Structure 1
Amino acid sequence: MRLSVSIHRTRLGATEFTVIRPAQPLRRAVLIDRDRYLNAYVDEHAARRIGGLWALAATSPRTLIHLPMRGNQPPSAALSMDPPRRLDLVLLHHSLQFAPARWKELRGRLGPGRPRTVTLPDAGLEDASGIDDAARHHKENRDLFHQHLHAETVFMTGSTKVFRETTRHFLDVARHGPAHARSHPSRPHYCAELHSNDGTLGNARELHIEYCDEWNA
């Protein structure tokens, strides 16, 4: 998998931070705050690119990966009586120990960035056969996602292992969502989830990843 990104480096005080963003906007991707859970609406292209950035988070423990989405128009499926609260997403390794309260200042200092193409291995990204489901539910399991919400941004903090093992959810939606929608026009819903029973969430809300092919813009 080849992924076009932009790399940004800036300082806060004595510390230099590296932030990676997708090189091109994720136009058909929206993250909605549903109070009890988070809902990501994506088309095929966005799901594949987010999956790539998710996999990149597994191999980049000293980097914040920023997915700007809160300015995107939501699809019709996301609209309700009240305007949905749209959020950005930041993926980071727990060892970075970045304080989300510093994000707004750091984000404001980011320049245009430097373009780069990253190559990620395809092997194993969609394969769940090597995942030890029983071990995930042991009380000693520390490979869990934790979330914080600050400055209209959700921070997904986790380990290399939990990022690597959950990348497949986005790639599954990218691979199977379009065909499902074409084959089931009256029931086009296709989704994947990070949920409370799968042993990946610590102090974190569930994440519902839904394929959507009807967008307002």
Structure 2
Amino acid sequence: MEFPVTVHRARLGPQEFKVVRPARPPEHAVLLDDGWFLNAYLDEAAARLMAGLWRLAATSPRSLIHLPLRRGAGTGAAAGTSEAGARPLDLVLLHHSLQFAPSRWKELRGRLGPGLRRSVTVPASDPETGHAALHHAENRDLFHQHLHAETLFVTGSAKVFRETAGAFREVADHGPRHARDGSPGGHYCARLGSGDDGARDIHIEYSDAREP
């Protein structure tokens, strides 16, 4: 899978950080915090992009992968949702070895310029980790979550990012057909479990305002 990104660099004190963003943010995507769940509503293109970003996080341990989503919260995929009071969030994916404190994000974000256009290639597919494995008591390869500056930070290892990208690919592959066929249940979704007792699962639902 190949897609365009912009690469931004900025310094905080003696440290320089690299932030990677999609060159074309998805038109039909939103991430909402309703207090109980983290809900991602995505059309097919957005779900495939998200799968690509998840795999990019696995191969870019020195970068923060930033997906701005808040500005589209009132349109696109969000138009079909009805979560009064839910808080729109941006998303940042990062490898745990980077040891970036979310409290520094607002300052870093404010220092980012227009960035340089690049093209990145990530594997089209990766092995998936089942939900039971993520929650197994012996599993220590987990996601960790932090909320700061209207942004969800998902921190993990290359292995866990690589193996769970398939949750987004699953929604991209099956969501559109499910919607066209009017399949029972009303929607198609997947759930991405963190395995961390202090974190919430991410509910990923196919939602396309363009569907009849």
The TM-score, its normalising length taken from structure 2, stands at 0.90
List runs of 5+ in structure 1 lacking aligned partners. none
Task: Check the 8 A contact 1:181/1:187 in 2, yes or no.
Answer: no
Q: 1:179 and 1:172 mapped to 2: Cα distance? A: 12
Which residue is equivalent to 1:142?
140
Which residue is equivalent to 2:109?
107
Which residue is equivalent to 1:175?
173
Task: Check the 8 A contact 1:145/1:203 in 2, yes or no.
Answer: no
* Partner secondary structure for residue 71 of structure 1: helix
Shift of 1:175: 1.0
* Partner secondary structure for residue 65 of structure 1: strand
Q: 2:137 and 2:42 mapped to 1: Cα distance? A: 33
Which residue is equivalent to 1:54?
54
Which residue is equivalent to 1:162?
160
Q: 1:134 and 1:39 mapped to 2: Cα distance? A: 21
Shift of 1:36: 1.5
Task: Check the 8 A contact 2:131/2:193 in 1, yes or no.
Answer: no
User: Percent of aligned positions with the same letter in both sequences?
Assistant: 60
Task: Check the 8 A contact 1:21/1:65 in 2, yes or no.
Answer: yes
Kindly report which structure 2 residues correspond to 1:9-158, keeping only aligned pairs within 5 A, or say none. 9-72=9-72, 73-74=74-75, 75-80=78-83, 82-122=84-124, 124-125=125-126, 127-128=127-128, 131=129, 136-158=134-156
Instruction: Write out per-residue CA displacement over residues 105-124 of structure 1, whole angstroms, 9 at most, x where no aligned residue.
Output: 000000011111111122x4
Shift of 1:79: 2.0
Q: 1:134 and 1:194 mapped to 2: Cα distance? A: 11
* Partner secondary structure for residue 214 of structure 1: coil
Which residue is equivalent to 2:6?
6
* Partner secondary structure for residue 26 of structure 2: coil
Shift of 1:156: 0.3
